[in-house]
Amino acid sequence: MCGIVGYVGSRPADPFLIQGLNKLEYRGYDSAGICQLNHEFYVCKTKGRVSDLERALKHTPLKGCIGIAHTRWATHGIPSDENAHPHFDCHQNIAVVHNGIIENYRQLRSMLINEGHIFQSDTDTEVISHLVETYYQGDLLEAVCRAIQELKGSYALAILAKDQPNQLIAVKQDNPLIVGLGQGENYLASDIPAIIDHTAEMLILNDGEVVRLSKEKVELFDRSGEQITKKPVSIQWDPVQVQKGGFEDFMLKEIHEQPQAIQDTIAGRINERGELDLDREIPPHLFEGVSKVQFVACGTAYHAALYGKHLFETLMDIPVEAELASEYRYKRNLADDKTLLIAVSQSGETADTLGAMRLAKAKGARTLAITNVLGSTISREVDAVLYSHAGPEIAVASTKAYTTQLACLCLLIAHFCRLKTGENLAALLLALRGLPDKMSQTIKENAAALKAYGEKIRSASDTFFIGRGIDYASAMEGQLKLKEISYIHGEALAGGELKHGTLALIVEDVPVVALLTQPELADKMVNNLKEVKARGGYVLLLTTDQESDFSDVGDQVLRLPEIHPLLAPLLTVVPTQLLAYYTAKARGCDVDKPRNLAKSITVE
Ligand code: M6R
């Protein structure tokens, strides 16, 4: 997974390209590169981050009002200057940046080498520049359309030819690509935030679409080169949302944005009487005859899926599975036309989730997505979409996307329940309306204690997160957050499982974060914590219980506001996010761009 960006206009291209790369860096930061055209290609590429590229550019100024650029998350070939994009053909006439994977690149590479092409990198991408070279006879669009006929895999591409000074060709296949429509200039990028400062008018490309950008116009074609038309959309995101807004990091900003994000998720969907209106977004017929629900998702979104499973099982009499999307296609699958498949994905682009959804669809399942990104691939392919309206989430570690997914799941269960049983889950929905204030209170009252706790555990090598019932899913999300940005190992356990093995690792001062929000499980959880305390574990207890005395089982007890038990996960996750953030800061980690990771994973 990588980020690509392109510009054609009358101004120097590099300010837009570099700004775009900085916005797209969450998609990968192993290397970065830029190519501008002004009679010649002016190229600068380097291993490392966009800031390294910017440093290198001080010694290699670029020229040109047309250009392409790339930030890489390495798949084929190590992170290095040579493997940084753009990649060129044998004569440096064709420049290509690519997001995706060319699955048949080995065959293509040996075929091209046999034909005499000389390769400079280990990447799969380089076959594209040589293929375009093979077909190029002065018409870049035609050469690209012929080259992509030979590609298998996923690709968002931006391509320049040295002798075409006012033409940029781009292609979208299974990876996102957006065209921004300006006045006398046009833009290209992997996502909306990279463009939104410059224009709100955008074309969201579909798979198989090819686009020719010049400074005067944008023309759209299908993959055989036939011209097609499509209406631009006007994107309503506020450009200020994609800045840090005074916070030190995007992650901290996004944690603080959660009360507003939840408000945006429920706005216009629940009224003051706790009545829900989702009929336009999710047509009632989607649920008719549904006898089974399957959730598919990855990572944090999978933890949201576990929450969804808990809601459906608790409130409806229907079998529910929550599957890791990466496993879903490789096991026996009972999806059929009575199955409702719910894909949860912030980006709407995760390859595993997309693949799982497509398989279920092929088996006749009805499909629904909970996603944050308008026009994303998953949102376009499912029968219905419930947008989470979290706004742009830039930090790799998901925070507001997660809590808004949980809020969407509450909306969804209420909608489903009303249609199936006539029952309106007004108490749950009204409690959801009250959630933003409780989130704000949670942040305000606990941030300082969590910062102190994060500093205390900064040198820990292992941490454990425990909970029972729905708190177990929250524990899984808490440990993932800590692990991914602080690099401290974390393990999540259902409280009752400790004694079946992991208790052996609980020794003096080992940090244990415990979640206790479900009244019917409280006594059992206390017993589990006693087992931990008896071995010397250092317990941070997060609870919504306002009365019980937990001083014998919690070294530190943070009491969160009282809340509807089914909404507790939307509250308890906030302190675990802050804990992860402060621990990572105490260790000097780059919280927004953790090592080896990227925001959305569009490869299997
Ligand atoms: O875009 P998606 O929600 O489909 O992404 C799935 C996971 O890659 C994602 O949730 C990941 O686990 C988080 N960024 C971790 O914080």
What are the two backbone dihedrals, phi and then psi, of residue 538, each rounded to the nearest 5 degrees?
-100, 110
Is residue 226 pLDDT above 90, yes or no? yes
When mean pLDDT is compared across 155-169, 331-345, 372-386, 559-573, the lowest value belongs to 372-386
Query: Whose Cα sits closest to atom 4 in ligand 1?
Result: 345
What are the two backbone dihedrals, phi and then psi, of residue 122, each rounded to the nearest 5 degrees?
-100, 10
Q: What is the pLDDT of residue 127?
A: 97
Query: Whose Cα sits closest to atom 10 in ligand 1?
Result: 300
C-alpha span between 424 and 446 (Å, rounded): 34
Atom of ligand 1 nearest to the CA of 599: 14
Rounded alpha-carbon distances, angstroms, from residue 476 to 303, 418, 454, 511, 569: 7, 30, 18, 15, 11
Q: Could you tell me which residues are beta bridge partners of residue 3?
A: 71
* pLDDT grade for 597, boundaries at 50, 70 and 90: confident
Is residue 390 pLDDT above 80, yes or no? yes
Q: Which residue out of 2, 145, 298, 417 is catalytically annotated?
A: 2
Is residue 603 pLDDT above 80, yes or no? no
**What would the DSSP string read from start to end of 62-74?**
---SEEEEEEE--
C-alpha span between 249 and 252 (Å, rounded): 5
Taking only the tens place, the pLDDT of each residue in 6-58 is 999 999 999 999 999 998 887 777 899 999 999 999 999 999 999 999 999 98
480 Cα: distance to centroid of ligand 1 (angstroms): 11
* pLDDT grade for 241, boundaries at 50, 70 and 90: low
Q: What is the pLDDT of residue 343?
A: 98
Q: Which residue out of 438, 481, 593, 599 is catalytically annotated?
A: 599
- Token look-up 């298998």 returns 152
Taking only the tens place, the pLDDT of each residue in 148-179 is 999 998 899 999 999 999 999 999 998 889 99
CB 318 within 8 A of CB 290: yes
589 an active-site residue? no
Probe ligand 1: pick from 347, 398, 595, max atoms within 8 Å of CB? 398
Does the Cβ of 601 fall within 6 Å of ligand 1? yes
- Mean pLDDT computed over 576-598: 94
Does the Cβ of 398 fall within 6 Å of ligand 1? yes
Q: What is the pLDDT of residue 76?
A: 80
Probe ligand 1: pick from 250, 303, 323, 601, max atoms within 8 Å of CB? 601
Q: What is the pLDDT of residue 391?
A: 84
- Tell me what the pLDDT averaged over the chain comes to: 93
| DSSP state letter for 489 | E
pTM summary value:
0.75
Rounded alpha-carbon distances, angstroms, from residue 313 to 3, 254, 553: 39, 30, 31
300 Cα: distance to centroid of ligand 1 (angstroms): 5
**What would the DSSP string read from start to end of 163-229?**
T-TT-EEEEEESS--EEEE-SS-EEEESSGGGTTTT-SEEEEPPTTEEEEE-SS-EEEE-TTS-EE-
- Mean pLDDT computed over 315-332: 92
CB 101 within 8 A of CB 2: no
Taking only the tens place, the pLDDT of each residue in 425-480 is 999 999 999 999 999 999 999 999 999 999 999 999 999 999 999 999 999 999 99
Query: Whose Cα sits closest to atom 12 in ligand 1?
Result: 299
C-alpha span between 426 and 315 (Å, rounded): 13
| DSSP state letter for 534 | H
Question: 285: exposed, middle or buried (C-beta count within 10 Å: 0-12, 13-18, 19+)?
Answer: exposed
When mean pLDDT is compared across 262-266, 398-402, 577-581, the lowest value belongs to 262-266
| DSSP state letter for 538 | E
Taking only the tens place, the pLDDT of each residue in 180-200 is 999 999 999 998 889 999 999
Rounded alpha-carbon distances, angstroms, from residue 537 to 82, 469, 510: 49, 22, 5
Greatest alpha-carbon pair distance for the chain in Å reads 79
Q: What is the pLDDT of residue 591?
A: 95
Does the Cβ of 46 fall within 6 Å of ligand 1? no
Does the Cβ of 346 fall within 6 Å of ligand 1? yes
599 an active-site residue? yes
378 Cα: distance to centroid of ligand 1 (angstroms): 14
Does the Cβ of 147 fall within 6 Å of ligand 1? no
Query: Whose Cα sits closest to atom 11 in ligand 1?
Result: 299
Is residue 238 pLDDT above 80, yes or no? no
Q: Could you tell me which residues are beta bridge partners of residue 369?
A: 343, 385
Q: What is the pLDDT of residue 11?
A: 96
**What would the DSSP string read from start to end of 51-94?**
HHHHHHHHHS----SEEEEEEE--SSS-SSTTTSSPEE-TTS-E
3-state per-residue secondary structure call for 518-530: CHHHHHHHHHHHH
588: left (phi over 0), alpha (psi -120 to 50) or beta: left
Taking only the tens place, the pLDDT of each residue in 465-524 is 999 999 999 999 999 999 999 999 999 999 999 889 888 899 999 999 999 999 999 999
Query: Whose Cα sits closest to atom 15 in ligand 1?
Result: 397
Q: Encoding tokens for residue 24?
A: 């797209």
Cis peptide before 86 (omega within 30 of 0): yes
Report the residue count for the chain.
604
- Token look-up 């942040």 returns 443
Does the Cβ of 543 fall within 6 Å of ligand 1? no
**Domains along the sequence of the chain with CATH:** 3-236 (3.60.20.10), 244-433 (3.40.50.10490), 441-589 (3.40.50.10490)
Taking only the tens place, the pLDDT of each residue in 128-149 is 999 999 999 999 999 999 999 9
397 Cα: distance to centroid of ligand 1 (angstroms): 8
* Angle between helix 140-148 and 126-135 (nearest 10): 120
Is residue 250 pLDDT above 90, yes or no? yes
Is residue 59 pLDDT above 90, yes or no? no
Q: Encoding tokens for residue 384?
A: 């219905």
Termini Cα distance of the chain: 10
Output the CA torsion sign for 261, 375, 250, 483: positive
Rounded alpha-carbon distances, angstroms, from residue 25 to 222, 248, 288, 369: 29, 17, 43, 26
* pLDDT grade for 242, boundaries at 50, 70 and 90: low
351 Cα: distance to centroid of ligand 1 (angstroms): 11
160 Cα: distance to centroid of ligand 1 (angstroms): 32
Atom of ligand 1 nearest to the CA of 346: 3
Is residue 558 pLDDT above 90, yes or no? yes
Does the Cβ of 353 fall within 6 Å of ligand 1? yes
